Amino acid sequence: MNAVGLVLGWVLTLFVVVMFVRLVLDWVAVVRTTPFWVRRVRALSHAGTEPVIAPVRRALPPLRFGGVGLDLAFTVVLIVALILRSVAFSL
């Protein structure tokens, strides 16, 4: 296994974990009022993932179903990160 592939794989793993944290905390924020630490962790997860998601969102805007929006950019970035992670670990 190549050292570069290993490091890249772990960086992508960390990114995927932050994406899942963002996913869960976004749903928690919708369902109920959140304490300060949850809002802080949510802001940190957005700061770490938004630079990657924003360009994809400009090319692939959210789908609207009445008052509900489905953010396909998040899903695309997550799937690509998972694929790249598996490729990096196989190097």
Q: Dihedral sign, CA of 22, 24, 28, 34?
A: negative
Give the residue numbers spanning the domain of 84.
Answer: 3-90
Question: Could you tell me the mean pLDDT of each successive run of 10 residues in the chain, 91 residues long?
Answer: 89 97 88 83 94 95 86 94 94 83
pLDDT of residue 24: 92
- Please answer whether residues 42 and 18 qualify as being in contact, where contact means their C-beta atoms are separated by less than 8 angstroms: no
* Residue of 73, 19, 80, 75 whose CA lies nearest to 44: 19
pLDDT of residue 84: 96
**Structure pTM?**
0.87
Q: How many domains does the chain have?
A: 1
pLDDT of residue 83: 97
